[in-house]
């Protein structure tokens, strides 16, 4: 089955249709008083917006000075700390902070370390000394471990880790020294803009439809089959040997459907710029199950609009 | 091709092989993502089209291809071909493949160019109205395709965009003219005898050059534009296959069978095949694949044709609207 659609009419085309009035529109002045930069008022900027005088304020990230004015260089929200003006960009790479939970993909195996793509400006580093090796937390790292690093992680592998520290060049160092962290399997990855992932109490979310979610703060989201509470890390059913396994468990058909549905919901929410939380995901999932007949877990544009509209009406 | 972990690959493969099959975005095995198409996007080209597969209106993403044709006058004596020729080339934007080095990108472009060019410039598809002056001048049809982003199934996108651009192509009308010496030079019989000597340079065929018709439209469509092929890529995870793979699914699929069909009133005609990827393929699978591929290609062909006709209507309306406002 194949369907063709048209592109949405471009603003330029609409412009053509109404005629040429652009001289009047451009006259809008953007003026900013001291009060507008107070921390409570959220202010959006476009690149090139004048923010304030450079005499009274200092320019920070996302701004530059032009003719004694601080000018935004990115689209985002204005933030002020004392006399420092910064603009936090909406579309940006992930800015790591120590303690963040991230999902990453191994790009390179190097002596005693792995390089990890975590949607940041530089590849993150995972040292051999900051992973748990099979056979106990207290095990010493041997020379033979260095030689068989690809048995633990190889190129392309996905893992969940925590930001441990930063190197002097700003690259982040990760660690997986918890049984909750490690290699990922039984599911699929969804990538969204990092700004849409809020800091939550827990980034390991279980939805009642038998789907586990790991919301990486870097915008990488792992959607996978639910692991029973008795089989989770630290419980008696936990299989310590399977930590570095590449083998998926058997996944039944309803679970596969649920994983695909959750992944599609996340894509839709990201396209409409809705920040992700567990409650929003749950509401969206319930809504989509109610509408089952209409779309079978697929989201065409009109159904996506309806989903987002129903979320806005509930909140 | 993007990198995937072994667990992700086996998750995708197991989903395809499951009963009933499950794809990672919930589509059925033989469903395409939404395809958006617009013709006439490049004002300076003789025909052009822009095509995306799987792009959401607000979220972006998806595969995007731009195709444009340009006609060029070529001298047959200086390397041209009598009756005109078709040359296709594919360029990949580095932004579409950020993980590839420039060398690898060139290899990829070369592969795509070869497949598209060999299929579309085949003599069986040659448009008959590319000649201008027999034995002297002809049109060189350059078809240029640009891959702006690749989220899987780029070959189908290339062929669909190429068909749309070629459908849209208008060949300018030409009229042959000949030079005649002014009557004064031919006044004496003696001169005419001189003309017949071996030194004469005016002994040419009567038609010497051409001029462009000044007419209200841009020209005539290419002859036989119905025949331009569409392709389907069968992604094989033995014994199943599926259509329109996403980038992740492509990375998890060992073998792809590309089939290009053209549909004429007399029936379907297989214009080109390629096996992409590593892995083995037996004759039975190929035979079955060609049979089924024809069915899916016909669906693509029918949908694309009706979309192209819609586009023609839309552009005519837009043009008359513009004209009315003047």
* Alpha-carbon gap, residue A248 to A238, rounded angstroms: 15
Residue B101 distance to chain A (closest CA, Å): 15
Q: Which residue of A has its CA nearest to B301?
A: A2
| Chain A residues whose C-beta sits inside 8 Å of any chain B C-beta | 1-8, 105, 107, 155-158, 183-189, 246-248, 251, 253, 256-257, 259-261, 263-264, 267-268, 270-272, 296-298, 300-301, 304
Residue A269 distance to chain B (closest CA, Å): 9
**B2 CB burial (10 A radius; 0-12, 13-18, 19+):** middle
* Alpha-carbon gap, residue B150 to B157, rounded angstroms: 10
Asked if A69 and A43 touch (Cβ cutoff 8 Å), the reply is no
What would the pLDDT profile of A162-187 be if each residue is shown by its tens digit? Answer: 999 999 999 999 999 888 899 999 99
pLDDT of B116 reads 96
Cis peptide before B234 (omega within 30 of 0): no
- Strand bridging mode A4-5 / B35-39: parallel
Best of A1, A2, A191 to disrupt the B interface (most B CBs within 10 Å) is A2
DSSP-based three-state secondary structure for A157? coil
Give how far Cα B274 sits from Cα of A12, A113, A129, Å.
41, 41, 48
What ipTM was reported for this prediction? 0.83
CB contact under 8 A, B36 and A6: yes
Instruction: Name residue, tokens 């090139």.
Output: A48
Task: Return the sign of the alpha-carbon dihedral for residues B68, B147, A222, A167.
Answer: negative
* Alpha-carbon gap, residue B139 to A71, rounded angstroms: 53
What would the pLDDT profile of B84-108 be if each residue is shown by its tens digit? Answer: 899 999 999 999 998 889 999 999 9
H helix runs in chain B, sequence order? 6-17, 102-120, 154-168, 189-195, 247-251, 283-325
Which chain A residues contact residue B56 at CB under 8 A? 267-268, 271, 301, 304
Taking the CA atoms of residue A302, residue B159, residue B98 and residue B244 in that order, the dihedral angle to the nearest 10 degrees is: 50
**A260 CB-near residues (< 8 Å, 6+ apart):** A297, B22, B23, B24, B25, B26
Asked if B281 and B236 touch (Cβ cutoff 8 Å), the reply is yes
CB contact under 8 A, A1 and B26: no
pLDDT at A256 over 80: yes
Which among A112, A107, A103, A256 is positioned nearest to A186, based on CA atoms? A256
What would the pLDDT profile of A1-47 be if each residue is shown by its tens digit? Answer: 788 888 877 655 444 444 444 444 444 444 444 445 544 567 889 99
* Alpha-carbon gap, residue B258 to B248, rounded angstroms: 18
- Interface contacts (A, B; CB < 8 Å): 120
Which chain B residues contact residue A20 at CB under 8 A? none
More confident residue, A137 or B84: B84
* Alpha-carbon gap, residue A265 to B117, rounded angstroms: 40
| Partner-chain residue, chosen from B3, B26, B36, that has the shortest CB–CB distance to A260 | B26
For chain B, list the domains and their CATH numbers. Answer: 63-180+217-325 (3.30.230.70)
* Alpha-carbon gap, residue B133 to B131, rounded angstroms: 6
Asked if B112 and B157 touch (Cβ cutoff 8 Å), the reply is no
Which chain A residues contact residue B309 at CB under 8 A? none
Structure tokens given for B33: 């993502």
Best of B24, B163, B232, B242 to disrupt the A interface (most A CBs within 10 Å) is B24
**What proportion of chain B, given as a percentage, has pLDDT over 90?**
57
| β-strand partners of A212 | A206, A224
Give how far Cα B284 sits from Cα of B54, B222, B257, B268, B269, Å.
32, 38, 13, 20, 19
Average pLDDT score over chain A: 83
Asked if A221 and A191 touch (Cβ cutoff 8 Å), the reply is yes
φ, ψ of residue B191 to 5 degrees: the values are -65, -35
pLDDT of A41 reads 61
- The pTM for the full model equals 0.85
CB contact under 8 A, A296 and B26: yes
Q: What is the mean pLDDT of residues A47-58?
A: 90
Asked if A120 and A110 touch (Cβ cutoff 8 Å), the reply is no
Residue B62 distance to chain A (closest CA, Å): 12
* Alpha-carbon gap, residue A60 to B111, rounded angstroms: 47
Local confidence band at A228 (pLDDT 50, 70, 90 cut-offs): confident
* Alpha-carbon gap, residue A86 to B148, rounded angstroms: 33
Which chain B residues contact residue A264 at CB under 8 A? 25-26
Asked if A125 and A164 touch (Cβ cutoff 8 Å), the reply is no
| Partner-chain residue, chosen from A4, A105, A253, that has the shortest CB–CB distance to B37 | A4
**What proportion of chain A, given as a percentage, has pLDDT over 70?**
82
* CA R_g for chain A: 24
Q: Which residue of A has its CA nearest to B302?
A: A2
pLDDT at B209 over 60: yes
What would the pLDDT profile of B242-256 be if each residue is shown by its tens digit? Answer: 999 999 999 999 999
pLDDT at A58 over 50: yes
Q: Following DSSP, what letter does each residue of B120-141 receive, concatenated?
A: HT-GGG--GGGEEETTTEEEEE
pLDDT of B14 reads 93
**B113 CB-near residues (< 8 Å, 6+ apart):** B88, B89, B90
pLDDT of B181 reads 62
* Alpha-carbon gap, residue A169 to B79, rounded angstroms: 58
| Partner-chain residue, chosen from A5, A158, A257, that has the shortest CB–CB distance to B34 | A5
The segment with the largest mean pLDDT, out of A8-12, A194-198, B20-24, B257-261, is B257-261
* Alpha-carbon gap, residue A281 to B38, rounded angstroms: 35
For chain A, list the domains and their CATH numbers. Answer: 30-89 (2.40.50.100), 92-184 (2.40.50.140), 185-315 (no CATH)
pLDDT at B187 over 50: no
DSSP-based three-state secondary structure for A278? helix
Q: Which helix (DSSP H) or strand (DSSP E) does residue B236 occupy?
A: strand B230-237
pLDDT of A240 reads 66
Which chain A residues contact residue B27 at CB under 8 A? 298
Which chain A residues contact residue B306 at CB under 8 A? 4
Which chain A residues contact residue B36 at CB under 8 A? 4-7
> Residues A174-183, buried b or exposed e (16+ Cβ, 10 A)?
bbbeeeebbb
Q: Which residue of B has its CA nearest to A106?
A: B5
* Alpha-carbon gap, residue B18 to B25, rounded angstroms: 15
């Amino acid at each position: 089955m194949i369907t063709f659609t048209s592109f949405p009419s471009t603003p330029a085309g609409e412009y053509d249709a109404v005629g040429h009035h652009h001289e009047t529109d451009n006259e809008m002045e953007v003026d900013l008083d001291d009060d507008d930069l107070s921390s409570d008022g959220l202010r959006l900027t476009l690149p090139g917006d004048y923010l304030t005088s450079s005499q009274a304020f200092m320019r920070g990230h996302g701004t530059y000075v032009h003719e004694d004015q601080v000018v935004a260089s990115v689209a985002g929200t204005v933030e002020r700390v004392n006399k420092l003006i910064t603009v936090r960009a909406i579309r940006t790479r992930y800015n790591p902070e120590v303690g963040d939970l991230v999902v990453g993909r191994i790009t390179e195996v190097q002596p005693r370390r792995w390089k990890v793509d975590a949607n940041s400006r530089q590849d993150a580093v995972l040292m051999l000394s900051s992973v748990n090796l099979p056979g106990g937390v207290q095990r010493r790292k041997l020379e033979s471990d260095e030689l068989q690093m690809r048995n633990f992680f190889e190129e392309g592998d996905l893992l969940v880790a925590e930001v441990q520290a930063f190197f002097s060049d700003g690259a982040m160092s990760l660690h997986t020294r918890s049984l909750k962290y490690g290699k990922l399997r039984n599911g699929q990855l969804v990538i969204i803009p990092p700004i849409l992932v809020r800091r939550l109490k827990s980034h390991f979310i279980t939805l009642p439809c038998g789907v586990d979610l790991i919301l990486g703060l870097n915008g990488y989201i792992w959607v996978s089959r639910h692991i029973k509470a008795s089989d989770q890390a630290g419980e008696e059913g936990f299989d310590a040997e399977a930590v570095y396994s590449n083998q998926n468990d058997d996944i039944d058909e309803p679970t596969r459907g649920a994983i695909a549905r959750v992944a599609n919901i996340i894509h839709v929410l990201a396209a409409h710029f809705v920040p992700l939380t567990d409650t929003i995901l749950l509401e969206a999932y319930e809504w989509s199950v109610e509408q089952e007949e209409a779309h079978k877990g697929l989201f065409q544009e009109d159904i996506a609009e309806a989903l987002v509209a129903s979320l806005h009406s509930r909140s | 091709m993007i990198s995937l972990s072994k667990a992700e690959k086996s998750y995708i493969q197991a989903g395809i092989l499951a009963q009933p099959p499950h794809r990672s975005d919930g589509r059925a095995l033989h469903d395409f993502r939404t395809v958006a198409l617009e013709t006439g996007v490049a004002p300076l080209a003789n025909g052009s089209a822009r095509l995306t597969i799987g792009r959401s209106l607000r979220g972006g993403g998806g595969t995007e291809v731009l195709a444009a044709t340009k006609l060029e006058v070529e001298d047959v004596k200086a390397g041209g071909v009598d009756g005109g020729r078709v040359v296709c080339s594919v360029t990949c934007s580095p932004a579409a493949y950020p993980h590839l080095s420039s060398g690898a990108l060139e290899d990829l472009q070369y592969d795509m160019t070869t497949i598209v060019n060999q299929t579309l410039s085949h003599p069986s598809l040659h448009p008959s109205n590319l000649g201008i002056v027999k034995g002297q001048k002809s049109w060189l049809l350059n078809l240029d395709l640009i891959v702006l982003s690749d989220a899987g199934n780029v070959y189908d996108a290339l062929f669909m965009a190429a068909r749309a651009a070629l459908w849209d192509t208008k060949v300018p009308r030409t009229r042959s003219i000949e030079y005649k010496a002014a009557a004064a030079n031919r006044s004496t019989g003696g001169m005419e005898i001189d003309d017949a000597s071996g030194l004469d340079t005016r002994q040419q065929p009567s038609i010497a050059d051409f001029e462009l018709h000044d007419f209200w439209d841009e020209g005539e469509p290419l002859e036989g534009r119905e025949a331009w092929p569409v392709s389907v890529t069968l992604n094989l995870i033995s014994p199943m296959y599926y259509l329109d793979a996403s980038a992740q699914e492509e990375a998890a699929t060992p073998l792809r069978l590309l089939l290009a069909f053209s549909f004429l009133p007399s029936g379907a005609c297989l214009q080109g095949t390629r096996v992409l990827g590593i892995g083995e393929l037996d004759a039975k699978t190929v035979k079955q694949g060609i049979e089924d591929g024809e069915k899916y290609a016909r669906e693509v062909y029918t949908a694309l044709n009706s979309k192209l006709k819609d586009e023609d209507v839309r552009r005519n309306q837009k043009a008359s609207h513009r004209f009315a406002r003047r």
